[in-house]
Amino acid sequence: MKKLVAVLFTLVIVLVLNAQNIKMSLKNTVVETFDYQEVRLNVSSLSKSVNPFSDVTLKAVFTPENGQPVEVEGFCDEPSGKIYKIRFMPRQAGKYSFKADFTVKGRQSKTYNGSFTATASKRNGPIRVDKENPTHFVYENSGKHYFWNSTTCYWLMGWTDEQVSLQAIDRLASLGINRIRVAIAGRSHGGERWNEKYVKECAQFSFMLNPWVAKNPQSLDEPQFDVTRFNLEYWQRFDRMLSRAREKGIVVSVIFYVDGLDHATDPFKKANMGNEFEQMYYRYAVARFSGFENIMWDIANEYHLFRSPEWAEKMGTLLKNSDHANHLISVHGSSDFPFRKSPWVDVVMYQSWDECGGYSFMLDCFRQQAATGRILPQINEEYGYEGHYSIWGCGPTATKEPNARSGYNRSQLAWEICMAGGYQTTGETAEFGTGAGEDTGGGWINGRGNDKMTMLNYYRIMKNCFEQTEYWKLKPASQLVNYGNLCLANPGKEYLIYSRVQHCRLSLPGEGKYTVTMINPRTGEQTQLPLCTAADNFSWHYPKEMNEDWVFILKRVE
């Protein structure tokens, strides 16, 4: 009897999915490296008893001429299972062959073979950890160094009008932002959740992100998600958001959950964390997005509030093993990072606010990482958003002042973080609201801004300052400057000074002449000062008193 059932089941599959009912096509016969090739299967019909997401698998092996084969998982892109796609990013030029297997309920139904050509491109490619300077980043294809200048816009996907989110990306790119944090799943009753009273649920914006099919998608606590089926309209919008960000040179940190403890953000809860359907959620995102050069993965925002370290290890390993393009992976938590040695971790990320997350904190983070024998970039992913809460200060003995998280104040802290050799992610004010107040913003919550929001101008100036140097070769050397100023140095060749007090002096070795550039970190204005001769007291000093922050770059004249 069992054999008869198996034969009948196989017969049904063959009848439904024969060669006439499935057609394969390629996006292009020629594709650029670091773009993605898309293999598409059009299926005339699936049995109603088949869940097109959980019962069907599509996998392909891509083999470059004279190269190693790469396995890639495909995904369903039509609710009834009429369209399946595989996205593959070729990372070397040449001819590729592939073999794709379409499987229903564990039984292979069809195999497809094809080929295409990848041509060399001028795309930057994904960001990678710089092997020669492993606290910094480079683009894989162009080899250019990447100065991480990042901001938060969790609910960018919450806009009713898709064009608003795309315009927000354009604005952020124009301000020098090259990385944004965007959530797939998130749910909140409104900005009051974080004392941001001007960002509200309204006709033009929703806090209800729905990556799964839901019976009640606008219900805060009872959307009744079907975690075996994805809301494809939402995921297709995410595709378009990633495409616009790619055009604008912005890396998107894809966050699987933001505030997972809140409301119905997490349909799995601790009881089902890491189960087959949560794994399917992570694998689906990888299958859909890993062909984009401009992404990285964040397993969860503040994972420790609703998940265990063991879960993070499991899902991080899943991402590492699933992503054929090996995009960077990390997880956002607190001021501690228990995964320094984990093979899936590419970037170490913290949340440490205000002065507790500044220069000394970052230096200590580097020391802790070095003790593992594995050097990685160190990021303070959250250290206090502009205008966020009325009092700042990171502990009972820390400085606390009303309204102290100004835009410039945040940029000063960012300078500290970067002068320690680390990187940072900021967040714009939400005072210019969404659905309330002057309805022209949303800031760190949803990415929208206006011309009154000037904070990111300071960050663009900081980025430009660093990019005038070979910053990836510079190391913290504040012992070379006086009065508590900060210095990065490639001794005898190049120095970057962030001066915070009235006087600035730099110790220099031996002989040599240096050009000296003085930069105003508030306006970006640059002034060329007289050449410095190192033999003059083996030092350089700025001869005038200063009452604001200034930046100096010294470069040896060869």
Distance from C-alpha of 278 to C-alpha of 497, rounded to nearest angstrom: 47
| Same-domain check for residues 198 and 314 | yes
pLDDT tens-digit profile of 82-94? Answer: 999 999 999 999 9
SS3 for 192? helix
Torsion sign across C-alpha atoms 421, 248, 144, 514 = negative
β strands within 462-525, DSSP E: 475-476, 486-490, 494-499, 504-507, 513-519
Q: How many separate domains does the chain show?
A: 3
| Same-domain check for residues 259 and 387 | yes
Distance from C-alpha of 307 to C-alpha of 329, rounded to nearest angstrom: 17
Q: How far is CA 396 from CA 356, 362, 393, 403, in A?
A: 11, 21, 8, 18
Phi, psi of 278, deg, nearest 5: -70, -40
State which of 451, 467, 483 marks the end of a domain.
Answer: 467
The total of other beta-carbon atoms located within 10 Å of residue 18's CB is 12
| Same-domain check for residues 132 and 87 | no
Please say whether the beta carbons of 380 and 425 come within 8 A: yes
| Same-domain check for residues 444 and 363 | yes
| Same-domain check for residues 94 and 167 | no
Distance from C-alpha of 2 to C-alpha of 4, rounded to nearest angstrom: 5
| Same-domain check for residues 244 and 342 | yes
- As a residue count, the chain comes to 558
Angle at 550 between CA 129 and CA 469, to 5 degrees: 35
Report the CATH number at residue 40. 2.60.40.10
Q: What is the pLDDT of residue 100?
A: 96
| Same-domain check for residues 90 and 156 | no
Q: What is the pLDDT of residue 14?
A: 42
| Same-domain check for residues 109 and 154 | no
Q: What is the pLDDT of residue 12?
A: 41
Q: What is the DSSP string of 360-429?
A: HHHHHHHHHHHTTT----EEEEES--TT-SSB--SSTTS---BT---HHHHHHHHHHHHHTT-EEEE---
Q: What is the pLDDT of residue 128?
A: 98
State which of 467, 498, 518 marks the end of a domain.
Answer: 467
Q: What is the pLDDT of residue 510?
A: 83
Q: What is the pLDDT of residue 108?
A: 74
Report the CATH number at residue 495. 2.60.40.1180
SS3 for 259? coil
Q: Which residues of the chain have pLDDT under 50?
A: 1-20
| Same-domain check for residues 157 and 265 | yes
What contacts 52, CB < 8 A, 6 or more positions away? 46, 76, 78, 79, 80, 81
466-491: burial string, b at 16+ Cβ within 10 Å, e else = beebebbebebbbebbbeebbbbbbe
Q: What is the pLDDT of residue 149?
A: 98
State which of 438, 467, 496 marks the end of a domain.
Answer: 467
Place of tokens 């940072």: 424
Structural domain for 463, as ranges: 127-467
Please say whether the beta carbons of 515 and 494 come within 8 A: no
Identify the bridge partners of residue 76 per DSSP, sorted by sequence position.
84
β strands within 266-306, DSSP E: 295-298
| Same-domain check for residues 363 and 482 | no
Q: What is the pLDDT of residue 398?
A: 77
Place of tokens 């502990």: 395
Q: What is the pLDDT of residue 558?
A: 83
| Same-domain check for residues 158 and 106 | no
The total of other beta-carbon atoms located within 10 Å of residue 161's CB is 11
Q: What is the pLDDT of residue 347?
A: 98
What contacts 460, CB < 8 A, 6 or more positions away? 149, 175, 176, 524
Q: What is the pLDDT of residue 38?
A: 98
Distance from C-alpha of 415 to C-alpha of 436, rounded to nearest angstrom: 33
Identify the bridge partners of residue 126 per DSSP, sorted by sequence position.
none
Distance from C-alpha of 14 to C-alpha of 8, rounded to nearest angstrom: 10
| Same-domain check for residues 91 and 9 | yes
Report the CATH number at residue 342. 3.20.20.80
